[in-house]
Amino acid sequence: MGTEYLTRGKFSPPVDRAAVAREWAAQGYSCALFVDPPGRAWNDFVHATGELVTVVEGRLEMTVAGQRFTVGPGDEVFIPRDTLHSVENIHHATTRWLYGYG
């Protein structure tokens, strides 16, 4: 499913956290790591700033403004400020993902 929020393969696996941080910093975004066990869900969040998300390892199911899609290593998601979104680890193991606010 295509979406205006998702860029597939933005970063080549294996995802280099330092390279992501540099690129995001150039755009005015922070970069931090989340480590989630299988089934972990973050539902119905809204932030006053934009957010970027990139999976390092594993898979996430994300819903942004009502659009649902699966995100894998190297994919980048842009979540505009004041936009309702949810994230769930749908991988059978731990998912590691980067997020940043700008």
Q: Residues of the chain with pLDDT > 90: what percent?
A: 96
pLDDT of residue 1: 44
Q: Which CATH number fits domain 6-101: 1.10.10.60, 3.30.420.40, 2.60.120.10, 3.40.50.300?
A: 2.60.120.10
Structural domain spans, the chain = 6-101
Residue of 58, 80, 60 whose CA lies nearest to 68: 60
Q: Token digits for 101? A: 């606010």
pLDDT 10s digits, 84-102: 999 999 999 999 999 999 9
pLDDT 10s digits, 64-89: 999 999 999 999 999 999 999 999 99
- Mean pLDDT, residues 34-49 taken together: 97
φ/ψ of residue 65, rounded to 5? 50, 40
Q: Which residues contact 70 (CB under 8 A, 6 or more apart)?
A: 59, 60, 61, 62, 90
pLDDT of residue 2: 52
pLDDT of residue 3: 75
Q: Quick one: CA dihedral 47, 4, 20, 26, positive or negative?
A: negative
Mean pLDDT of the chain: 96
